[in-house]
Structure 1
């Protein structure tokens, strides 16, 4: 059914793509929720004020999974392994924290896949052993 050529770098990069697309699509999907959209337009979502500084902080956080797409494919084994563990721990940890803040059903649905993907990346990176060709 599924076929994997054993290229851990390629698989990790693909998982980061999957994670990033889920993050983006969840945010786009949120624009279709009237309550969320109204809050965004008012500049305050729950207790969070949407300021330029907040948006910069959010952009930095979102850069983590996006930068991991090429880095996972091209970094050398050792730094790649540890950077994947750190980046997935940060990304998955932040997403896990936001789930406790509450959210819509679709947000919780996407969060499940985002957190699960981060955990898969962590497990794969931990189990990753160097090979002669990679």
Structure 2
């Protein structure tokens, strides 16, 4: 448990990365749920999809989101080296997904900014994560 006065450096890295992935996923869900309430959002989705059938577009989105969801568990169980690189690469991939598949609705821009900040934190933490096997 984090007590008052502890810095982010004192939190176990695996737990911190996993928690940040949880925050990203909750925000992704919030953005999607709030978008359902916007009149005309389905029409915009159909324009975005172009010739791609909506079910295939939704499957693609589900697969991309599932990769990020899997990182909640994988950040806790993967070996150090694979864990470090998986967090960095999946975070970069997720940023591209958020930016490339996003909308210009104010709520989405705000939530996407929060997601990107969390993903940049994931990248930074994983990048600076020292190998626990080489520490004295």
Match of 1:93 among 83, 93, 96: 96
Q: Which runs of 5+ in 2 are unaligned?
A: none
Report SS of the residue matched to 1:131.
Answer: coil
> Residue 96 of structure 1 contacts residue 115 of structure 1 at CA under 8 Å; is this kept in 2?
no
TM-score (norm: length of structure 2): 0.83
Matches within 5 A, 1:96-111: 96-99=99-102, 102-111=103-112
> Residue 64 of structure 1 contacts residue 87 of structure 1 at CA under 8 Å; is this kept in 2?
yes
> Residue 19 of structure 1 contacts residue 117 of structure 1 at CA under 8 Å; is this kept in 2?
yes
Other-structure match for 1:52 = 55
User: Does residue 34 of structure 1 match 2:39?
Assistant: yes
> Residue 85 of structure 1 contacts residue 126 of structure 1 at CA under 8 Å; is this kept in 2?
yes
Q: Which has the higher contact order (CA 8 A, sep 6+)?
A: 2
User: How far apart are residue 32 of structure 1 and its match?
Assistant: 1.6
User: How far apart are residue 56 of structure 1 and its match?
Assistant: 1.2
How many residue pairs were aligned? 128
Other-structure match for 1:123 = 124
Whole-Å separation in 2 of the counterparts to 1:33 and 1:48: 18
User: How far apart are residue 47 of structure 1 and its match?
Assistant: 2.7
User: How far apart are residue 16 of structure 1 and its match?
Assistant: 0.1
Report SS of the residue matched to 2:101.
Answer: helix
